[in-house]
Chains A and B, each alone.
Chain A
Amino acid sequence: MKSTRIKVLAGAVLLVILAWLIANEFRIMSQGGYDWYLRLQQWIAAVCTLAIYSFLYRENAFYRTFEHALLGCAAGMGCAVILRQQLVEQWFVPMKNAFIAWFTSGMNPGVLNGVLLIIPGLVGLMWYFQYSKKYFWISRITFCITLGAGVGLGFKDMFNQLVPQITESFKPLWVGHSLMRNLSLAQRAGMSLENLIFVLGTLSVLVYFFFVFDRRRLIVKAPAQLGRWYLMIALGAFFGNTFMTRLSALIERIHFLCAEWLRLSNM
């Protein structure tokens, strides 16, 4: 009996909200410049937003429907991007045009570049020999090329990123007058303290990840514990920043619902 009363009450509240939404829509129409297409987009976006936030109340079919729709959209869009904008636009069309140009006006360096696109296509197709037990070895050629290129580029990337950071980590523990002539003693002391905290953090975190040494010795245990504190503070900073990002997303969605969808607050 109690659950029936709750359902009736919830239904009545929903009806009131619906009536108010319709009245609000007429209010927006009466303001002039009503764009049907834009309003349809905003309604769809608003319903999607409310469906996703409904999970905060509890797991429900409304939420699941939109969750699956979102996953379907993402998967479909991924396929479309790969097919249309990579395989067709960046590989097939330039190669086809190059072959046509070769047969109609002859070979030149630009045409050769396009014709040579057939090679990565063939190399890529060799992946599919993984489905054959007899010719499985052919797919390994593609695997080796991909791996070799990936390792080479990855090494260059890591080297270029990390070396400047390693050299920058060599900081003076006392910023003397000869290093910073324009700064006062207090400012130089502040910089020295920053450098000390930085160097201690770098060394202690490195010690924390030396798992080959005996952790019970004080010479390893003390810096490792300090490193653990540094890591905990860093993770706390990550968590705080994560919260701020999620909060911004909520603020933006509330702004969308109030200002763009319902047109109650200022844009």
Chain B
Amino acid sequence: MSNLHSPLSNTHAAAPAGSIWRRIQYCDPRWLYLFFAAMVVIFEFWRPAMPTVVPDAVQRLYDLIERLPHDKLVIVDSELAAGIRAECEGQFIAVVRHLFRRNLRFAIMTWTTQPEGIKYATDLSAALAREFGKQYGRDYVIWNPLTPAGGAMMQSFARDIPGLIQTDIAGTPLRDIPVMRGVQTIMDISLVYKVSYVWDRVETPWIGFIQSVYGTPYACGTVAIMSSSAYPFLDSGQLSGMLAGAAGAAAYERLMNAPGVGTKTVGVQSFAALFVIVAIVLGNIAMVLARRADARTEAAA
């Protein structure tokens, strides 16, 4: 393998023969990829159970949903996509499961820019509805997908929800759907929960134009990359809770006592992260020792 050219592994071409540390430093990265993939495959067949810690942001969302009134509607804004299924599917399932368990009525909001997200949200909510014996239209609804149009659209949405959304995903007018009875403006909404991977679409529409203006509680489930951007909003109270990555989903599943996708993922993730930490430490030790050897050789010469 080492004599094959790869744009990702150009270091091995100059790999000098020498000590084990030098070999580690110039190791072909493809061996690391292979080892890493093999480890994930092994964990696919043997799922390690890891202890899950519940962060404050997750606990806050759970407590909030526990306190929500039954006379208002919850909005689950879903931007699920194939690329974020690994982290956000568990977050979506955990919260929708909680809403069903508490008999809270809710509407799922989808976007035309995420066509696969519409399918995921439809399939997942239908499966959970079957599990809890819930009925579409009476207990929950999936709105007709919207095309993102920024703040102007959100201002219009806040004042007249049925006027902007108009129909559900099957084309039925919202006014004819039982779960939408009494829902007219954003004041009839008790919580907005958004699952997304683009931070701009998490903060701008809902925080900038809804939460800050009307005070509607707002929480999000997002990929781990984006979670760092969310913490200032949690600290200021603009976000009422957050599920960050697979760990967030696993923590919520623990609170719900219903292990699922998040719990499965987080065990493998922990071991894989440990492997990377070991590789980084080993690489750095190799670098330091190789430099020392070079210095000794130069001094001797």
- Residues of chain A having any CB pair with chain B under 8 Å: 55-59, 77, 81, 85-86, 90, 149, 153-154, 156-158, 160-161, 164-165, 167-168, 234, 237-238, 241-245, 247-255, 258-259, 264-265
Contact = CB atoms under 8 A, between A and B. Distances in A.
A7 to B, nearest CB: 13
B161 interface: no
B207 A57 contact: no
Given A58-B5, A85-B147, A241-B225, A77 B30 contact: no
Q: Which 3 A-B pairs have the closest CB atoms?
A: A252-B86, A157-B208, A160-B212
B6 A57 contact: yes
Contacts of B112: 81, 85-86
Given A56-B8, A265-B45, A85 B145 contact: yes
A260 to B, nearest CB: 11
Contacts of A168: 235-237
Contacts of A247: 269, 272-273
A255 B33 contact: no
A265 B87 CA distance: 20
Main secondary structure on A side of the interface with B? helix
B264 to A, nearest CB: 8
Interface of B: 4-8, 30, 33, 37, 40-41, 43-45, 83-87, 112-113, 115, 145, 147, 150-152, 203-204, 207-209, 212-213, 223-228, 232-233, 235-238, 244-247, 264-265, 268-269, 272-273, 276
A241 B86 contact: no
Contact of A156 (B30, B87, B208, B235): B208
B33 A56 contact: yes
Contact of A243 (B232, B238, B276): B276
Given A56-B8, A156-B208, A243-B273, A165 B86 contact: no
11 contacts: A81-B147, A153-B150, A157-B151, A157-B209, A164-B237, A237-B228, A241-B244, A244-B246, A248-B223, A248-B265, A255-B44
Nearest to B166: A94
A3 to B, nearest CB: 10
A241 B242 CA distance: 15
B213 A160 contact: yes
B224 A245 contact: yes
B263 to A, nearest CB: 12
